[in-house]
Structure formats: C-alpha cells, structure tokens
A = this chain, B = another copy of it.
Amino acid sequence: MKTFIGVDLGGTNIRAAKVDEEGNILQMVKDVSEPDKGAEHVMSKMIELIERIDGYEECEGIGMGIPGPIDTIHGKIIVSTNLPKLVGYPIVEHISKHFNKPTFIDNDVKVATLGEACLGAGKEYPIVYYVTISTGIGGALSIDKKVLSGQNGHAGEIGNICIDRNRNKYNILNVGAVENEASGTAITRKGKEVFGDTIQHAGDVFELARQKDEKALKIVDDMAYDLAMMFSAIAHVCDPHVFVVGGGVMKGKDVFFDKMEKYYRDMIHVGMQPVVFKEAMLEEPGIIGAAMLPMTKIA
C-alpha cells in the first residue's frame, strides 16, 4: 500500500506522520517548532523530523497543514499570527527540493476538510461542508474530494458571518460574527458574564445546562440558534450533501446539537431537507488530511 507524509505545523509544535491510503497513521513524530528562530530554523526542524520516520524515502509525497490563509499555488503562508517569520517563505519549494518529492501545502482547516471528505465522515458524499467549532469557528467546502481555497485562501472563513446585526463589537470580526457568539471562546465569555469566574471554559456552561440551570440553558439555546443561522447561510450558498462538524465544542453536542439542527431545518427550503449532519470522525483530521494532499493531487 502506498504511503504519504503528513505534517502539522503550528506555533508550538511540528508533528509529522506516515499515513497509508486508508488513513491509518503508521508512525508519528513530534518536535517543538520554535518559529521565533526564523523560517530556516523551522525548515531544518521539519526536515529532521521527516527523516526520523522509518522508510520516509519510499513515501509518495508530502503534505503540510498550517493555520491561516495559505497561497496553495506558490506554496507560501499569506498571513499568520503564530508563524509570522514564515510569511512569504517558499516552504513548498524548500521541502520539495530537499526530498525530491511532490509537496503540497494548505490551511489546517482545509486539510482537515480533505481528510474528512476522503476518509472520514464525509467520504460517501460528493459535496461536503466541514465546520469546526472550537476556540474559533472555521470551515471549508469540498466538492468531489477537492477543497475550495478561494481567491485569497479565505473560503470557509465562516466565523465572520454575521448572524445578528444587533450584537456588540468585540474585535476585528464583524458585529454579530458567529465566532464571537457561538465559539468555545464566546460561550466561555457569556458564561463568565452570568456566572463569574467559576466558568473556566465552555464545558462548564454545558455542564450547568445538563443540570437544567435556566441561565445556562438560555446561553446554549442562543448558541444553537446562532449556529443554525450560520449553517443556513452556508447551505443556501452551496446546498451540501453533508455537514461534517468537528472541534472541541462538540464535546457539548448532547446539550446543543439537536436544538441547533431543529432550528436549522426551519430555516431551509423543503427541498433542502435531505442534508445530513455527521460528527467529524478522524482522530487526527489535520495530519491525515495533510497526507491526503499528495494522495489526491498525484493519484
């Protein structure tokens, strides 16, 4: 069976894995990324890491997933909060020259989308919209196992969709941006506003909702409606077969997901009801999806 190398490069760690065609991780290695030491340093780290993988020479190609908007054509990072010294650096050129293998790069959410579309919860469907609800909210559209990057690498920046124009402005995002109203960060903020510092993270709000606390249930109900508005906007643009939903906030799915889906189904046309929701199923969608980049591009 053919194997591929997937790399997950973040602001703290680099991880690399050998992945087979069925998405099995055969070996995984990890190191700190130390991006403050510059692009060349990170590239050396990445090369050393890949060379620690048994049989890396026989792998068919290399794929990398990196946070933020990526120029997939020129193989560069466009903008980055965590890896500012790598912006504009020819990452793909550097790595492909060193290993003499087909090498590809994309945004971390987009490679996760590719992983879920090819091998995960979306694998039986032609049109997959992947949504991750975590610290932030992001997503991507996959059509026939190809992920849409958009002109500027911003396709899927759905966290900035306004779901209610009568909210507060918190940051650079739009007033009423769904990320500021229904992400893990948002639920934590709303929980603190009501319950004070006993709330450490969104899970604490969900736990209170499980205990039928009225105020926690209100936060969760608002969140469910706000998310439904976002899913509805996406569906009217691209009418997917499936929404694959992942991210840490899904740990609270028992308290918000059914409500969300009920609100959502009232917001779409009768003819769009066949759409289904599936929970993301890959344990490591980012690294498996990164390994899928060469698999889907050179197959």
Contact = CB atoms under 8 A, between A and B. Distances in A.
A272 B238 contact: no
A163 B156 CA distance: 19
B152 A143 contact: no
Contacts of A149: 239
A154 B234 CA distance: 12
Contact of A143 (B143, B158, B229): B143
Interface in A138-161: 141, 143, 148-158, 160-161
Contact of A238 (B79, B155, B275): B155
A239 B162 contact: no
Nearest to A240: B151
A239 B154 contact: yes
A109 B229 CA distance: 24
Given A239-B152, A239-B155, A161 B233 contact: yes
A236 B160 contact: yes
Determine which residue in A149, A164, A233 has the highest number of CB atoms from chain B within 10 A of its CB, and name it: A233
A151 B69 contact: no
A232 B127 contact: no
Contacts of A148: 127, 143, 238-239
Contacts of A232: 160-162, 174
A19 B154 CA distance: 37
Oligomeric state, in number of copies?
2
Interface in A160-177: 160-166, 174
Interface stretch (A35-43, A200-208, A263-271): A263-271
Contact of A233 (B153, B155, B162): B162
A209 B134 CA distance: 46
Contact of A237 (B143, B153, B158, B274): B158
Interface of A: 69, 78-79, 126-127, 141, 143, 148-158, 160-166, 174, 229, 232-241, 267-269, 271-272, 274-275
18 contacts: A127-B151, A141-B237, A148-B238, A148-B239, A150-B240, A151-B241, A151-B272, A151-B275, A153-B271, A154-B235, A155-B237, A160-B236, A160-B267, A160-B268, A162-B229, A163-B165, A174-B267, A233-B233
